[in-house]
Amino acid sequence: MKDAKGRRRTAPSAHHEAPVKHEVPGAGESRAYWLDATTLAWPTSLLPAGVLPSELGSSARPPVSFDLIASPRGGTAVVEGLLTLGDGALVVPLVVAGIIDEVLPGALATHPPLAGYLALSTQDAIAGPRLPVDAVEAALTGQLTIVQRTVDSDAVGHWITACTGVQIWPILDLLHGGAANRDGSAPLGPTWGGDGPRQEGEGPAFALWAPTAVEVALLSWATGDPTGSVPLVDGEPLRSPARRLSDGRWEVPASPRISTGDQYLWEVRVYVPATGRIETNLVTDPYSTALTMDSRRSVAVDLADPALAPAAWANQAAPAAGSELGGDAARAIYELHVRDFSAADPTCPAESRGTYAAFTVDSAGTRSLRELSEAGIDTLHLMPTFDIASIPEDRAAQAVPDIPDGAHPASRRPQAAIAAVADDDAYNWGYDPYHWGVPEGSYARAGHQDGGARIIEMREMIGALHAMGLQVVLDQVYNHTAASGQDSRSVLDRIVPGYYHRLDATGAIEDSTCANNIATERSMAERLMIDMCVRWARDYRADGFRFDLMGHHSAATMRGVREALRAEASEVIGHDPFLYGEGWNFGEVRDNRLFVQAVQGRLTGTGIGCFNDRLRDALRGGSVADPEPREIQGLGTGLAQAPSPFDTRGADVRQADLVWRGDLIRIALAGNLRDVALHSGHGRWVRGDELRYGADPAAFASEPVESINYVDAHDDETLFDILAYKLDPDEPMEARARMAALCLGVVALGQSPAFWAAGAEMLRSKSLDRDSYNSGDHFNALDWSCADNGWGRGLPPAERNFDRWLMQSVLLTRPGLRPTAERIAATRAQCLDFLRLRRSTPLLALGSAELIRERVSFPVTGDPGVIVMVIDDGAGPADLDPTLDGVAVVINARAQESVVRPGSMMGRRFLLSPIQAGGADGVVKGTAFNPTTGELRVPARTVAVLIEP
């Protein structure tokens, strides 16, 4: 056994190492980090008791010593204090160079958690580096272990006091960062039309980034027509050895032996720390452009192939969205799940229900979408449509729950039937990525799940939605994967173990997102995220993206996504893609511990939006995390009227809460801008960032587009269901419907993008299910006929709701809580008028912080249950709307008519908007303003828009 200098090394003699009966600290973990060619980081928490880091680097005879052991095929272990070396292991003594903060201060900028770690160096003060770069790269392909020994005072005996594995992702980024270049110099996946001369009949070239692999080959099966749906091909594959490149990629050049449309897998021989040996993994391509059914193999499909471009998609330009004045801030977004849309629609052909094709036919669902589009919805947000790990794609193999007919509204039987098949049926929300760049196969019609067929179906859907006047936003989930390690659904971790997933200080994968967190701050993970977003925009014409748990990505990564999309996709789709996401601050990345997060308030000037949970909670009351959902009412759930039996707070507490939530609503209506000043219900002027939301400023936006106004989404209870919890159980259905409409009206009439969950305008219920991600069609499917809103379909699944079954069963059996078809239809019509108001009134979306500061005000009403927002077109030098001098949005959350005197409206001629004066809601027509007295009369539970011609 020799080190890199050719000097013979031997393992320490066993008799010098004292056996121990306890596990050595760090064993089975990966607590050390390899940072650059000569520097590794060691946690001081593993130092023996009493040993100070400061005495290690300067001591002539340090009390501890360190060795790096590189074992090409694994096998190195410490058992009862005795070290066993794997075959061919190389032992490299390490020198304590100091503290990382001092030795590599720049490292803390990218690796903040390493503050205080020891810097261990492979550099010998006399002989120089013990590991040249080529030896480092070789070491990275095997097992890496650092052993810490304590030396006794006579330097005769030494004991292993710690032993741990090494996290290598920092040095992989350093050594192989060139592969992250997106300039075309480092292609990945299947590619066509390279720079060199091509032979006749030559197929695609292939490349895979696998810097720690010891051998890579491409296994391919001849398929035939790449545009069709070809099932798995039998027989022995063609094996094409890959050539390793200096940037960690492995390449199989184009040749006539592999054709476009062929099925393929990568064969990767790589050391896997979890198994302690080199494994031979057969893996699909993370850059797959197409897949066979159930993602068993990748398919080499050229997305630029004209045969994959249906005319309804290729010839249909994206419609405009937002407005000329307001830009993206004027958008009205509708969130929809592909299967919810049509699974229960009898007017949709049976073979198309639950599929992309349902959007291309004439049905109750598509007619409803057209009505929403004509009223003012301009952006359709589709929940995940990338390849999903949790849904069987073979429609014939999908389990169907045996739900009994005529079950009691609070029966346990429907949810039990769904739970029995939940992981094998056709339903899941889809937040469990398998392959990010391929359409989900379960949403394709039977016989269209393989190869290019599902690509055509998804493109036809997008073309059909564009033809309806709807831009399409695709939900993206780059914060985690469905699996990791050697799981059969694990792709990334079976190619480069330990790189793509974010690891904690012990080497375990973080799971704050739910499981298998992805570290998009690493160069190749970030590149994968950006490349896939560009693919969806450029090759599918997606108009924008919503990012799940966006706060788990860095602000720099999100800016990188935005810039790449602008450079590579804007010309294709005809506009800059619209981006927004969940800017929540939690988990291992919380408070910028690892990087500056893409959270609320950290995306200044990017045009990227974050959901405004402040408005949501102001309207709903309490928080979505409340264990008891009934206790705290919001402005939209009864806080401004007599308390429900469950909100037992005193009158003073409720009054103060009403004032605070009213301020949250005001600032949200004004774009949730940090620097906008408003007259608080507390009687003083405050800036948006002086208002509090827990420990944080309430306002976080620098421009109105950076805050997305919403009251409910696919997560948590629907708006109707939260009203069922929070309103007095005896509240009549008319009042409940008006409160639901009031909440949606507040969302629709603010200065920020408006976001509605599908069906909210139809009083959609999920039978009180708090998390319907796997609750099947029974609890999730929409009824576009308005005959049934989903209430009383049985107790929701026990897995997420059992602790609430008692209160749920009481509510679900109350006959007065089921709305009639007439009430559902009337509420929908009332809400569509809000969309018409938003679209037809430019002043409702001014589009810039400057204009909002200049023209938006909130006159004092004297009643915290009544909010008035005035947009004054005469308050600035430019005439933004030649048809109007001003607009007033009036919200009365009281249970009775309110009369207020907003001082700044005195003497002005405000009239009820013609849209509402001639609209579906008869109650709002009672709104009146007397310019002489300044008296404004507003009916109960009403949102009204007044105009000043």
- Which of 137, 267, 493, 582 is an active site residue? 582
Q: Which two tokens stand for residue 198?
A: 């091509």
Beta-sheet strand order (sheet of 898-900):
898-900, 935-938, 928-930
- Which of 457, 548, 712, 873 is an active site residue? 548
CB 145 within 8 A of CB 69: yes
Calculate Rg over the CA atoms of the chain.
31
Q: Phi/psi class of residue 310: alpha, beta or left (left: φ > 0; alpha: ψ in -120 to 50)?
A: beta
Q: Spell out the long-range contacts of 660-664 with Cβ–Cβ below 8 A and sequence spacing 24 or more.
A: 661/617, 661/618, 661/619, 661/621, 661/634, 661/635, 662/618, 662/635, 662/864, 662/865, 662/867, 663/691, 663/698, 664/614, 664/615, 664/617, 664/618, 664/691, 664/693, 664/698
DSSP string, 851-869: HHHHHEE----S-TTEEEE
Q: Which two tokens stand for residue 879?
A: 């005439």
What span, in angstroms and rounded, lies between the C-alpha atoms of 668 and 806? 36
Amino acid in position 511:
D
Q: Which two tokens stand for residue 12?
A: 């320490």
Q: Which of 383, 332, 377 is nearest to 469 (CA)?
A: 377
Residue 275: CB partners within 8 Å, gap ≥ 6? Answer: 486
521 is catalytic: no
Cβ count near 59 (within 10 Å):
11
Cβ count near 304 (within 10 Å):
11
What is the number of alpha carbons within 13 Å of residue 243 lying toward its C-beta?
7
Q: Which of 868, 830, 626 is nearest to 740 (CA)?
A: 830
CB 551 within 8 A of CB 584: yes
DSSP, collapsed to helix, strand or coil, labels residue 501 as strand
582 is catalytic: yes
CB 58 within 8 A of CB 96: no
Cβ count near 656 (within 10 Å):
15
Q: Which of 664, 582, 607, 669 is nearest to 870 (CA)?
A: 669
CB 118 within 8 A of CB 103: no
Give the β-pairing of 332-336 and 754-757.
Answer: parallel
Residue 67 pairs in a beta bridge with: 93, 147
DSSP, collapsed to helix, strand or coil, labels residue 476 as strand
Q: 777-799: b or e for each residue (b if 16 or more CB lie within 10 Å)?
A: bbbbbbbbbbebbbbbbbbbbee
Residue count of the chain, please give it. 949
Q: Is the dihedral of CA 496, 501, 504, 510 positive or negative?
A: negative
Output DSSP code: residue 701. B
What span, in angstroms and rounded, lies between the C-alpha atoms of 80 and 822? 76
What span, in angstroms and rounded, lies between the C-alpha atoms of 774 and 710? 23
Cβ count near 505 (within 10 Å):
16
Amino acid in position 83:
L
- Exposed / middle / buried, residue 770 (Cβ in 10 Å: 0-12, 13-18, 19+): buried
CA angle in degrees (0–180, nearest 5) for 848-596-616: 55
Give the residue numbers marked as catalytic: 548, 582
